[in-house]
Structures are given as structure tokens and as C-alpha cells.
Amino acid sequence: MTGVTRRLRRPACATLLGLVGIAGVMLQAHAQELRPWRHAIIEAKSDAGFALMVKEGGFAAKRGLNLEITQVKSDQIGLKALLAGQLESYEGGPAGAILASARGADLKILGCHWPSLVHGLFVRAEIASVPDLKGRNIAISAPGAMPDLLARAVLEKYGLSAKDIRFANLGSDLDRYKALSAGVVDAAIISTEYVPVAPGSIKLLIPGREILPNFLRVCIVTGAKVLSERADDAARFIAAEIEALRYAVSHRDREIELTRTVTKIKPDDPRPGFIFDEAIRHHDIDPEIGLAVEKLEWTKEMLAKSGNLPQGVDVGRLIDPSVHAAALELIGR
């Protein structure tokens, strides 16, 4: 190499390094400009790609948010963290928010993106019908959470009462699935994602959507205080969620790939593909994150009927359509 060539290339290298340095500074500055938003989801499982696409797909960052997602065992934990000021929002069943509102908590439901259940009643193979569960035990999660409410609805439909059953609070879907597979419990409310991998010793007796067609699986909940201080950021968050879910439902391979990455599910495990196809086939997911007012009213009535709701709640005061409208406006722009 000649001296002339060396002299010509040094400025080029310096320029390249300078550009890289500038790019790094710009990215760092951009990261600092992003506004923090803390959000909780129920522990990631085979549909995790839907819940995490908003962050991992860059949709939150596009809307100017530095999204921090925390995984919790149940939506009750997310609710408590929100009330303690540790979160800006969480997603879970609306029953907890309705009950908390009845007790004075100032909460707001921003939309519901899983308007149908993907859970069901799984039982030991020898159990042929719901009445056969009399005197046996059913694994649920926290009282008032979706597994508890679904279990009680199944019992009521088939003429049994809570006194006829022993309830076991076992936390997550995986915990309940393991307990049922090991014979620790006789039945469990778990996600239908376990259908393609369940051993012959257990079976899906009844899909939840057949028992509770109006049951809302997941809504996004925040606090009135958060909205009073950060309404614009809340709209940006919902806009990012809508964009992420629209992308996820139309990109099967990408959603499944993200699910496998975050949950470390093996490539030959059929659950991510199974639950994606089930959700799309049965319209279990709403990428527009509608407010589902009629289903929220039904949930309120169900809680009152079961004796869990101490006093009436005005669902109209619990929802905030202005955030959803502002989010759609952002997307339109």
C-alpha cells in the first residue's frame, strides 16, 4: 500500500468513526427523551408475543415511551402494584378493578383486548362430567380472579355450589397444570394452550368460552391519578398497543417467534402456534382494544350475583373513552 493510499484512507476511517460516534450519541439522546411507562402483564406463556410485541416490536418507542414490562403471577398483584404507585397500568381481568372501585379505588379501564376466554376446565381422565367433581378439589388462582370466577360459573351451571368443592389457590396456569398432571388436584382452570401437550391422564372437559361467552379475559387498567397527570402518555401507550396487536394478529410467524424467544419454548413445542390459531379462529383477541361496555356490565352483574360485589358500581365512571379516542387520532395522524 502506498503512502498516498494510507493518507487517503485515514480521513475516511476517522469520518466513519465520527459518524458511528454521532449515531451513538443520537441514540442515547433519543433513549433519554423517551418517557417512562411501567406496565404489568400476567406471567408470559404461549401467547406472550401478543402482550410483548408493543415493547419488543418497537411500537412503544415509536410513540415516545420507554416501556418497562413486569410479569406478575396474577392480575391481583398488578392491581395492588398500580394502587401502590409502582405502575402506570396493568392488564388483567376487569373483575378486580370493578371490586376495587366498589371499595373506593379510583381506577379507569382503557380498553379490553382479550374479550373472550382461552381458558377451560381441565380434569382427570376418569372424570366424565362436572357433577362428578362433587367432593373433589379444583385448582384456581386468587379469589375473584378469572380462574376462580370461571370455576364457580361452571359449578353453578351444573347445579353444584362452592360448598360441594374444595378450592386450591395455586397461582399461575403452569402451577395449576403441573398440579393436575401430578394428580395433586382433580381439576383445574388453565389455558387451552395445554391441549396439544396434555398427557392422557388429563383432558379438557369444557372450554371457558362455552360457559361464559360474555367473560372478558384481559383489559388494560390505570388510575385516575395517572390520567390526570399523564393523559397524553396514556394515549400514546394505547396507540402503541393497538399498532402492536394489529401487527401481531397479521404476522403469525413473528408473533410465534417472539413468544418462543421470551418464554424459551422449544421449536418443536406446538403450544404457541396452537394458541395463536385458536385466538384468531374464535376472535378471542381484539386488536382495536375496544371498551366492551356490555361485557363489563355483565361482569358487574355476575360479581353482584355471586355476592362478591358489596355495592353497586357505575361502569360508565370506570371507563375512559377519551384515551382510546386520542390513541386512534394519533394513529390516524
What are the boundaries of each domain within the chain?
34-116+215-332, 119-211
- Mean pLDDT for 225-233 is 97
Given this model, what pLDDT does residue 307 score? 73
pLDDT digits (tens, 9 = 90+) for 108-154: 999 999 998 889 999 999 999 999 999 999 999 877 778 888 898 89
Q: Which of 56-70, 90-104, 210-224 has the highest mean pLDDT?
A: 56-70
Contacts of 333 (CB under 8 A, 6+ apart): none
> Bigger pLDDT: 211 or 243?
243
Whether residue 59 has pLDDT greater than 90: yes
Bridge partners of 206, per DSSP, are 121
Mean pLDDT of 220-243: 97
Name residues whose C-beta falls within 8 Å of residue 70's C-beta, 6 or more positions apart in sequence: 38, 39, 40, 41, 81, 87
Closest CA to 155 of 164, 146, 147: 164
- Contacts of 65-68 spanning 24+ positions with Cβ under 8 A: 65/34, 65/35, 65/36, 65/37, 65/233, 65/236, 65/237, 65/240, 66/31, 66/34, 66/35, 66/36, 66/37, 67/37, 67/39, 67/237, 67/240, 68/36, 68/37, 68/38, 68/39
Whether the pLDDT of residue 19 is over 70: the answer is no
Same topology, domains 34-116+215-332 and 119-211? Answer is: yes
What was the pLDDT predicted at 311? Answer: 64
Residue 17 predicted with pLDDT over 70: no
How many other C-beta atoms are found inside a 10 Å radius of the C-beta of residue 273?
18
Q: In what order do the strands lie in the sheet with 218-223?
A: 65-72, 35-42, 89-92, 218-223, 107-114
Average pLDDT over residues 245-268: 96
Beta strands in the chain (DSSP E): 35-42, 65-72, 89-92, 107-114, 119-124, 137-140, 166-169, 187-191, 202-207, 218-223
Query: Which CATH architecture fits 34-116+215-332?
Result: 3-Layer(aba) Sandwich (3.40)
What is the DSSP code (8-state) at residue 207?
E
As a whole-number percent, the residues of the chain with pLDDT over 90 amount to 68
Q: What is the pLDDT of residue 310?
A: 66
Contact 208, 150 (CB under 8 A): yes
> Measured between alpha carbons, how far is 47 from 255 in angstroms, rounded to an integer?
8
Q: Among residues 66, 318, 304, 282, which one has the least CA distance to residue 192?
A: 282
Amino acid (one-letter) located at 10: R
The CATH class of 119-211 is alpha beta
Predicted TM-score of the model (pTM): 0.81
Averaged pLDDT, 246-262: 97
Q: How far is CA 327 from CA 11, 115, 278, in A?
A: 47, 19, 28
